Amino acid sequence: MIPLLLALIPQTLTGAQVMHQTNFQPLENKRVGLVTNHTAMVGDTHLIDILHANPKIKLTALFGPEHGLRGLADAGAKITDETDPKTGVPIFSLYGQTQKPKQEHLKNLDILVYDIQDIGARFYTYISTLGLCMQAAAEAKIPFLVLDRPNPLGGTKVSGYVLEPAHASFVGQYPIPIQYGLTIGELAKMIKGEAWLPGLQNLDLQVAKLENWNRNQTAAGQPWIKPSPNIPDFETALLYPGTCLFEAIHASEGRGTTEPFLKLGAPYINAEKLAQTLNSKNIPGIDFSSVSFTPDQSQACPPALDSKIN
Output the pLDDT for position 302.
47
pLDDT at 305: 38
pLDDT at 301 over 60: no
pLDDT tens for each residue of 182-202: 999 999 999 999 999 999 999
pLDDT in tens, 34-64: 999 999 999 999 999 999 999 999 999 999 9
Residue 299 has pLDDT above 60, yes or no: no
Rounded percentage of the chain residues whose pLDDT exceeds 90: 83
Is residue 7 over pLDDT 70?
no
51 Cβ contact list (under 8 Å, min separation 6) = 24, 27, 32, 34, 57, 59
pLDDT above 70 covers a percentage of the chain that reads 93
Q: Which helix (H) or strand (E) holds 268?
A: none
Q: What is the pLDDT of residue 262?
A: 95
> Is the pLDDT at 304 greater than 60, yes or no?
no
Other CB atoms within 10 A of residue 257 CB? 22
Show Cβ contacts of residue 148 under 8 Å, excluding neighbours closer than 6 positions. Answer: 14, 15, 183, 184, 185, 186, 207, 208, 209, 210
Most confidently modeled range among 3-7, 69-73, 80-84, 134-138: 134-138
Angle at 67 between CA 63 and CA 70, to 5 degrees: 70
Amino acid at 239: L
Q: Distance between CA atoms of 149 and 184, rounded to whole angstroms? A: 6
pLDDT confidence tier of residue 151, bands split at 50, 70 and 90: very high
What average pLDDT does the chain have?
Answer: 92
Listed residue (127, 113, 98) closest to 61, CA to CA: 113
Does the pLDDT of residue 228 top 50, yes or no? yes
- What domains, with CATH codes, occur in the chain? 2-208 (3.40.50.12170), 234-299 (no CATH)
